[in-house]
């Protein structure tokens, strides 16, 4: 282990996933397929929204940014993990580790804010349909996305600056496949009280508050549908909100399992496995959820395929 100025390590060792050596090849192929599916599936969503004028609405504007965020989110951890599995190396430079932690936190928070914006869009569409065009004007959509990007960047920067001031004299081995903030804090030899306090307070703003806003939005949606109960109204609510609710459940379910359920020292492997679900499985499933449960997306895909068939 090498140290810079006797205060921190120059590299970390990522122990990776808790899998047997003889199973490395199988899991490498599986994770590579999942990562490629994530990138290609979300790129397809962005392409469809871009090419089909019927999808130039606030909901799909937010969805295109969510798809881009999911591509970047998976790309923060998956390529390094796959490279380490392929080359049988475990090291990551100190600068690379800090950068990975920053971008991971950035895209986690951005996902949360974008999902909240989408929930507000669905609330306005169902509870105030006559005022939807004026309430969800283009300038507001741009503002919501811009604020989401700026807030996420600021929050991730605060965590990263506090992380960079820590020393790592105890060792440089992380029981993880990427530079997870909580794993780095456990490894640090410095006092992490301020870091944990910031995680608690900022976590309320970046995760808990958006979740509450989403739940309140869907509470109003449910109340609005029940006030005028009809098969058509229920079907409309399910068709417009079902995909978003599925993604919200996957996203926040993984966060709660990973960061809010009390864990012991012996549950490190469980945390690593849940992290795989969080960083690879959830972003991969989003395109399938939106394409299989959404008539507009399926219609746009059909139009593109028919156009390609005719042009060929």
H runs (alpha helix) in the chain: 24-51, 58-87, 94-127, 132-135, 138-164, 181-187, 193-203, 209-227, 231-255, 268-276, 282-292, 295-311
Query: How many CB atoms neighbour CB 252 within 10 A?
Result: 20
90 to 97, 105, 203, 268: CA distances (angstroms): 12, 22, 30, 17
Residue 232 has a pLDDT of 65
CA dihedral 147, 39, 242, 139 (to 10 degrees): 30
Residue 1 has a pLDDT of 42
Residue 261 has a pLDDT of 65
Q: What are phi and psi of 3, to 5 degrees?
A: -125, 145
Query: How many CB atoms neighbour CB 233 within 10 A?
Result: 15
The residues that bridge with 93 in the sheet, in sequence order, are 11
Residue 293 has a pLDDT of 61
The residues that bridge with 14 in the sheet, in sequence order, are 174
Could you report the average pLDDT of every consecutive run of 10 residues in the chain (312 residues)? 53 88 89 95 92 88 94 95 89 94 96 94 90 93 97 96 90 90 90 92 88 92 80 66 84 79 62 85 85 71 75 62
Residue 296 has a pLDDT of 74
């Amino acid at each position: 282990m090498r140290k810079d100025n006797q205060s921190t390590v120059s590299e970390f060792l990522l122990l990776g996933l808790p899998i047997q050596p003889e199973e490395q090849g199988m899991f490498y192929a599986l994770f590579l397929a999942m990562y490629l599916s994530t990138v290609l599936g979300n790129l397809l969503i962005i392409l469809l929204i871009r090419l089909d004028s019927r999808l130039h609405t606030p909901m799909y504007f937010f969805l295109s940014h969510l798809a881009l965020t999911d591509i970047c989110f998976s790309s923060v951890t998956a390529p390094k993990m796959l490279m380490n599995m392929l080359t049988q190396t475990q090291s990551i430079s100190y600068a690379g580790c800090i950068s990975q932690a920053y971008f991971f936190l950035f895209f986690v928070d951005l996902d949360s804010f974008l999902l909240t914006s989408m929930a507000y869009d669905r609330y306005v569409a169902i509870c105030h349909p006559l005022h939807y065009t004026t309430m969800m004007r283009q300038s507001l959509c741009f503002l919501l996305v811009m604020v989401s990007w700026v807030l996420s960047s600021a929050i991730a920067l605060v965590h990263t600056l506090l992380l960079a001031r820590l020393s790592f004299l105890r060792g440089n081995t992380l029981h993880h496949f990427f530079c997870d903030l909580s794993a780095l804090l456990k490894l640090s030899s410095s006092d992490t009280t301020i870091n944990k306090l910031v995680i608690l307070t900022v976590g309320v703003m970046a995760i808990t508050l958006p979740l509450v806003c989403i739940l309140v939005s869907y509470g109003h949606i449910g109340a609005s549908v029940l006030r005028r109960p009809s098969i058509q109204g229920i079907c409309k609510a399910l068709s417009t909100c079902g995909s978003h609710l599925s993604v919200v459940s996957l996203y926040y379910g993984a966060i709660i399992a990973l960061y809010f359920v009390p864990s012991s020292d012996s549950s490190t492997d469980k945390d690593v496995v849940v992290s795989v679900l969080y960083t690879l499985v959830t972003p991969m499933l989003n395109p399938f959820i939106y394409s299989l449960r959404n008539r507009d997306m399926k219609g746009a895909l059909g139009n593109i395929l028919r156009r390609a068939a005719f042009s060929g």
